[in-house]
Amino acid sequence: MSLSPQERAEFVNSYTRALITAWSSEEFSNQLTQDPRGALADVGITIPEGASLDVVRAIPDGKRDGSVDIQVGLYEEGLNTGHFEIRIPEVPQVDTAELTDSELEGVAAGDINCCCCPCCCCT
């Protein structure tokens, strides 16, 4: 069963809410482990009664594609098979590398190097 455009938009909004809430709330993250159906219902993702559910927090190497289309496909597959896999990875790691002194000076001075078009802002 494929989701209608309206259903897809609602699922994507709810899934996005689940990701953001899991990454910003330790309480919600714990609830995903203890009561995944309840946690997902709280953000608008309903898993049908009697269906099995796996919430995957540790995404295997090579399967880290961040495409929401993959999750939509997994949800649609669950509607057909009765087995749902919802991937909510742990908090993504952010590169916190510091700028060098020369890079910092360039940013502070408004030094913008853009070569995308021949406009006056690039010169």
Q: What is the pLDDT of residue 121?
A: 57
| Residue 3 and residue 13 in contact, taking contact as beta carbons nearer than 8 Å | no
Q: 32-36: which pairs have CB atoms within 8 A and are 24 or more residues apart?
A: 32/57, 32/88, 33/57, 36/86
Residue pLDDT, tens place only, 44-96: 999 999 999 999 988 766 655 557 899 999 999 999 999 999 999 887 766 66
Contacts of 24 (CB under 8 A, 6+ apart): none
Q: What is the pLDDT of residue 1?
A: 77
Listed in sequence order, the DSSP H helices in the chain are 5-24, 26-34, 36-42, 68-81, 101-108
pTM: 0.71
Mean pLDDT of the chain: 84
- Measured distance CA(88)–CA(36) in Å, rounded: 11
Q: How far is C-alpha 10 from the chain's CA centre?
A: 15
Q: Is 28 helix (H, G, I), strand (E, B) or coil?
A: helix
Tally the C-alpha atoms within 13 A of residue 116's C-alpha that lie toward its C-beta: 4
> Whose CA is closest to 7, among 42, 38, 46, 41?
46
Of 18 and 117, the one with more pLDDT: 18
All structural domains of the chain with their residue ranges: 5-87
